[in-house]
Amino acid sequence: MAAGRARAAAASERPRIVSALPDPMVAVTADFLPFDLHGVNGNITIEQAFPLSRVRGNRRRVAEADAERWSADTQRIGLDVELEALQAFFMLAERRETAVILDEQIAITGELVVIARAHLASGQGMQADVLRLDNEIARFRADRRALDADIRGAEAMLDTALAREPTASVPPLAWSDDLGEPPPLDALARKALGDRPELASARADRRRALAEVDVMRSMYGPMALVRAGPAYMMSEGTGMMAMVGISIPIWRESLGAGVSEAKAMAAMASADIDAMERMFVGNIAIARESVLAERTRLLAIQQDILPRARQVVASATGSFAAGQGPMLPVLDAARDLREIRMQEIMARTRLSTAWARLRRETAGLSGTTP
């Protein structure tokens, strides 16, 4: 982002450079110098070239369009960097939430081990139940240790996206779900076509190409050359010297080719804008449907599937604790609950990421907070 801003600042200086007159030339001439060095015919002149067309103004328009393009590109870079940081944020949040789920599963399985040992001691259980639960806890703890490394990696990714040291600590993350419906497609498309920095850059490219056409046409105009200064002649004494010249642009074939080339570049820029607009509208439609799909999945898990899974776990655990049911249904129910909660976390991540991408497609990402 810093490099992009510097590039835009450099481009903003270009109009003043290209629209300036060429530097004047100061010349000292000895037209006649006798061998005996008694006297001299010479002069001191200042020479300046002046274009007799609007080429300087047209070149300034080209440079101004370039500056607008680089300024828009800086905005694009900012949106991309922000999206990358949000994706890293959601990845870290997902892994931290997964750690909480594993910790809860370890605690629940530990309670089941206590119950199974009590049943074994009273002659109502089997040693295999205790061993199986011990193995389940060992597997959870191994997954939890591996997840710690994944969390540190996700923290380093987020720190890097935020231009922080990769080892900097990351505080607890506040994460809320946007369960609202996205605006209609036509409203999103209008916003994107008006605000996308990529389109602003492409339109600046077209203005640049059109200005280049005018630059090439200006080359048909002649260039004036003015030279003036004091002179000295041995026979006449001091005086003034003045000269006015004008160029004759006779190589019309090369000038015409330059104009045709510039027109073709302008047509290409217009075609690029048309294609870009169609692509952006299509991408917005895809991103909007992705938000709707992930919203539907998350609501189904939170409102229907997850409550049922909790009821199954509570019922199976109660029966096992009372000695009225085997251990295996409890273990299966706990696994189902864990998988559903993992699906919920992933659905939350996908929904938040889908929202971020939709806002990026409409250039509305700036200011978005998780």
The CA distance from 191 to 365, in Å, is 12
Rg of the chain (C-alpha set) = 38
DSSP state of 43: E
pLDDT at residue 369, rounded to an integer: 45
- Domain-located, residue 174: yes
- Domain-located, residue 183: yes
The CA distance from 340 to 330, in Å, is 15
Any idea what the CATH number is for the domain that residue 238 is in? 1.20.1600.10
Furthest CA-CA distance within the chain = 138
Q: Which amino acid is at 175?
A: W
**Are 63 and 143 contacting, i.e. CB atoms less than 8 angstroms apart?**
no
Helix (H, G, I), strand (E, B) or coil at 180: coil
Predicted TM-score (pTM) of this structure: 0.81
The CA distance from 203 to 151, in Å, is 43
**Are 294 and 351 contacting, i.e. CB atoms less than 8 angstroms apart?**
yes
Range of the domain at 138: 2-361
Helix axes 185-195, 327-361, angle to 10 degrees: 50
The CA distance from 316 to 15, in Å, is 77
**Are 52 and 224 contacting, i.e. CB atoms less than 8 angstroms apart?**
yes
Q: Which amino acid is at 94?
A: E
- Domain-located, residue 370: no
b/e map of 213-241 (b: 16 or more CB within 10 Å)?
A: bbbbbbbeeebeeebbbebbbeeeeeeeb
Helix (H, G, I), strand (E, B) or coil at 121: helix
pLDDT at residue 365, rounded to an integer: 61
Provide the CB-side half-sphere exposure for 185 (13 A, CA).
12
> For the chain, how many structural domains are there in total?
1
Q: What is the pLDDT along the chain (370 residues), one digit of tens a residue?
A: 889 899 999 999 999 998 998 889 999 988 877 777 677 888 899 999 989 889 999 999 999 999 999 999 999 999 999 999 999 999 999 999 999 999 988 888 888 888 888 877 877 767 887 888 888 889 989 999 999 999 999 999 999 999 999 989 999 988 888 898 999 999 999 999 999 999 999 999 999 999 999 999 998 889 899 999 898 888 788 888 888 999 888 878 888 898 999 999 999 999 999 999 999 999 999 999 999 999 999 999 999 999 999 898 888 888 877 777 677 788 888 888 889 999 999 999 999 999 999 999 998 864 444 4
The CA distance from 253 to 169, in Å, is 67
- Domain-located, residue 108: yes
- Domain-located, residue 176: yes
- Domain-located, residue 367: no
- Domain-located, residue 368: no
The CA distance from 87 to 89, in Å, is 5
- Domain-located, residue 366: no
The CA distance from 191 to 288, in Å, is 14
